[in-house]
Amino acid sequence: MANLATNFIGIKSPNPFWLASAPPTDKEYNVRRAYEAGWGGVVWKTLGSEGPPVVNVNGPRYGAVWGADRRLLGLNNIELITDRPLEVNLREIKSVKRDYKDRALIISLMVPCDEDSWIDILKRIEDTEADGVELNFGCPHGMAERGMGSAVGQVPEYIEMVTRWVKTHSRMPCIVKLTPNISDVRKPAEAAKRGGADAVSLINTVNSITSVNLDSFSPEPMIDGKGSHGGYCGPAVKPIALNMVAEIARNPETHGLPISGIGGVTTWRDAAEFMALGAGNVQVCTAAMTYGFKVVEEMISGLSQYLDEKEMTSTADLVGKAVPNVTDWQFLNLNYVTKARIDQEACIKCGRCFAACEDTSHQAISMSEDRVFEVMDDECVACNLCVNVCPVEDCITMIELPRGEMDTRTGERVGDYANWTTHPNNPGATAAE
């Protein structure tokens, strides 16, 4: 059996599955249940200073986006950081850590952007025996309007400054949680590294309005006839998160910086994808809120089986495995040519591939009178839209043409393209090349 135990920046846990800082980690009762269910670690819901009290709304806090089968694809939340007294949280954290020494326990923090506030909160958490701190520079709503959360995370200079304060005044490992609400996530990650961060975690929630009530004309969730933007999370944000994790993992300026992957992790496969792109562990929220804490059991068994099948002995063998294969578009191989193929025995003759290709693509699929659909190689550009819209798995596949075989669409032989950097269709190519 593969060993799922992880050592992330010196923080040990029996598996790489941590609960993210969120409503599921708001109190001792929840965290104890999470550990008993099998979670390897927990990031306690964000603590603030004892300044102006945090007051959450008493109406709906979540908006949702569903798939056709009412599968929950995304949640928008307008909840703030913890509104429970700081001393109560600290007492509960200490109690939990005393009983679960083998599990990771990280404290998420968010206080005003001045050094004294950070010194104060760090002193207060010092004797909890927590394993580390996570600096919440990502929350896009409520706290950002107060100059915290993503208001800090969008300014690399502030990230570097606060991270340096934390590393100066605390013994604990420091994880910097990054916002996705920025044009280039590499810059905040570089700033965190300059400030001395031990790791980064990402992504935090995406600023969003998920829906509008067309009777009251208010964004949802609606509070007394009004709505606000909130933070979007869940399976729908996973592609955004994967890209941002990969960008940091392959950036020379942040090479080697440990990453905790967050964003739509629902299954073991999601976790494996994050880890292959450079994440040392993953954090989960929406899946737990949708299915309960025991969802981690499938994640643990599935990842373990996958590692065994790949003959990997630990999660460390998986981390970063896909990073060398992430490249920029101009370096893709134009000598590689594929064509779509339809399995006639598997085809249910729904015609979806034909409609999509005929109306919106390259008119490369023919339909006979008895509804037999076939690919016309001379028109197929290998876009694989037909594969993606087909409701039958593996009914349509992409087949690679051997090098030297004629591409009937272009009249060229496969492999005749020069490297793209010198190809005449590349506007960046020079005459000298």
Which residues are marked as active site?
139
Classify residue 303 by burial, with Cβ atoms within 10 Å: 0-12, 13-18, 19+. Answer: buried
DSSP lists the bridge partners of residue 281 as 260
Contacts of 186 (CB under 8 A, 6+ apart): 247, 248, 251, 253, 254
Nearest to 268 by CA among 248, 252, 284: 284
Classify residue 146 by burial, with Cβ atoms within 10 Å: 0-12, 13-18, 19+. Answer: middle
Cα–Cα distance between 105 and 43 in angstroms, integer? 6
Q: What's the DSSP call for residue 345?
A: T
Reduced to 3 states (helix: H, G, I; strand: E, B; else coil), residue 155 is coil
Asked whether the beta carbons of 281 and 8 are under 8 A apart, the reply is yes
Reduced to 3 states (helix: H, G, I; strand: E, B; else coil), residue 12 is strand
Nearest to 272 by CA among 35, 71, 4: 4
Reduced to 3 states (helix: H, G, I; strand: E, B; else coil), residue 179 is coil
Nearest to 61 by CA among 39, 87, 83: 83
Classify residue 99 by burial, with Cβ atoms within 10 Å: 0-12, 13-18, 19+. Answer: exposed
Classify residue 368 by burial, with Cβ atoms within 10 Å: 0-12, 13-18, 19+. Answer: exposed
